[in-house]
Amino acid sequence: MSGLHVRVRVAGEDYALAVAEVLEVAEVGEVTPVPGAGAAVLGVRNLRGQVVPVVDLATVLGLPGRSAPNRIVITGRGGHKAGLAVDEVAGVEELPELSEDIESPHLTRAALADGGLVGVVDVDSILAAAEAAPASDRA
């Protein structure tokens, strides 16, 4: 087994994040746009007194348009937090052995689970891509 993962759905596809990288799951709530932020940055959200940037996982992964996200998966490294906007959180579970190679800079591997492919998200890569993305036209 490859360890516990938080399963999420984004634009009709299944992804997972290692439990060790997830601090909590929150409602999207009120996200305030940030002028000049990258196109993948939806804005910032006040989460119990902490301002947390919210990154649209679908945009970074290049997934086609979809409805507004319903949940934010809060990740943290080195004292910094960020939220990944997803359509839904499907649960926490062990993934089968990660056996499929993936040709994506934002996924580490993939596993076959429940009859489908589940991509394991590289959180560092997602956050770096969101930070480096050109600014959006949002004001």
Would the pLDDT of 1 be above 60? no
The residue among 17, 21, 8, 20 whose CA lies nearest residue 90 is 8
The pTM of the full predicted model, rounded to 2 decimals, is 0.87
- Interval 93-128: pLDDT, tens: 998 877 766 778 899 888 888 888 899 999 888 888
- CATH for 112: 2.40.50.180
Count the domains in the chain. Answer: 1
The answer to whether residue 74 sits within a structural domain is yes
The identity of residue 65, as a single letter, is: G
- Burial of residue 113 (number of CB atoms within 10 Å: 0-12, 13-18, 19+): middle
- Interval 14-38: pLDDT, tens: 999 999 999 999 999 999 999 988 8
The answer to whether residue 138 sits within a structural domain is no
Give the range of the structural domain holding residue 60, as residue numbers without chain letter: 4-132
Question: Residue 100: how many CA atoms within 13 Å on its side-chain side?
Answer: 15
The answer to whether residue 139 sits within a structural domain is no
The rounded distance, in Å, linking the Cα atoms of 108 and 14 is 14
DSSP class of residue 72 equals E
The answer to whether residue 73 sits within a structural domain is yes
The answer to whether residue 57 sits within a structural domain is yes
